[in-house]
Amino acid sequence: MSRRRQYWVLHVDLDQFIAAVEVLRHPELAGRPLIVGGRGDPTERAVVSTASYEAREFGVGSGMPLRIAARKVPDAVILPVDAEAYTAASAEVMATLRAQPGATVQVLGWDEAFLGVRTNGPEAYARQVQRAVLDRTGLHCSVGIGDTLVRAKVATGFGKPRGVFRLTAENWLEVMGDRPTVDLWGVGSRISGRLATHGIVTVAELAAADPAVLAAEFGPKMGPWYGLLGRGEGARVVDDTPWVARGHSRETTFQRDLTEPAQVEEAVRELAARVLEDVAAEGRPVIGLTLKVRYAPFITKVFTKRIPETADPDVVMSRVLDLVGRIEPRRPIRLLGLRAEMPMPEGARDGHTPTRSGW
């Protein structure tokens, strides 16, 4: 009698996705340092969306100002962001994943997804996925294998590039225990810094942390949740329920700093109009607003406001302008962003990733 196949979570992550798509379109760029960001002009204010492995060797990374990246790699090819091309390539990849035998697919973004599969040979299945994606799209991917979504996601980092790696309860602490908490999915530098104030520096220390200490620091919901991350625990089943956005956001980086109140208000009104279009398409009201302000040279402030549930754009705009009043007058501004939060409909999937929505 055959042994019942075990359930596994596979995390598929495309290698240097945006750069790889550009190389497919421009084969002559293969092997060259490639940077994609903004409109492809390093004299403008923009950040790196992605960099090829060749550019990363010089210290270039996502989110770095484009001008600094260009300075680090003077002979790099710098291309503008082409979201339509990446969306089309991503759709092909996700269609390939959904075509895999017995797979449940949970999309995380352009370049990554979870697969839930029953198999007694997860590594062989992962290699099959890699071949299928490469054959159909010309793109390479890495695959993490785990018994939870968190472990599968973290495992992928050990498989890059083009590799496969397995992380389970059996080897989690052996592999991750001595690593800093910032290496965990969902723990950034700010959270790791707060953990360090309690003497929690490594993953093993977080795994063994007193739940009461975590709850006192991060709250009754988030505290225990960080403890789960330290142990690699959490959801074990891939959920392909369509993801519903909690909110919509837009932001603009200005090539010249805004200094006049009238300029700032006009810019915020334009952002709000675009966000309200996105929200209207959802057919849900607004229940919260977040205004992001980046003052020159690079100091970011975030202002939030809960508002009574409303679908009236005039009311929302009025509440947005209330937030504008919290901006320091005449202080030079290089970026503005606005996010509108909506209530979640019944039956919507909750917590599809360890990271919370928003900025």
Catalytic positions, please? 112
Cβ atoms 97, 105 nearer than 8 A: yes
Q: Quote the DSSP letter at residue 126.
A: H
Q: Which helix (H) or strand (E) holds 128?
A: helix 122-137
Q: Which residues lie across from 210 on neighbouring strands?
A: none
Cβ atoms 55, 66 nearer than 8 A: no
Task: Give the count of beta carbons closer than 10 Å to the beta carbon of residue 79.
Answer: 21
Residue 49, both tokens: 């969306």
Residues 6+ apart with CB under 8 A from 43: 67
Cβ atoms 328, 295 nearer than 8 A: yes
> Which of 150, 231, 147 minimizes the C-alpha distance to 186?
150
b/e per residue 121-154 (b: at least 16 CB within 10 A): ebeebbeebbebbeeebebbbbbbbbbbbbbbbb
As a whole number of angstroms, the distance between CA 284 and CA 295 comes to 32
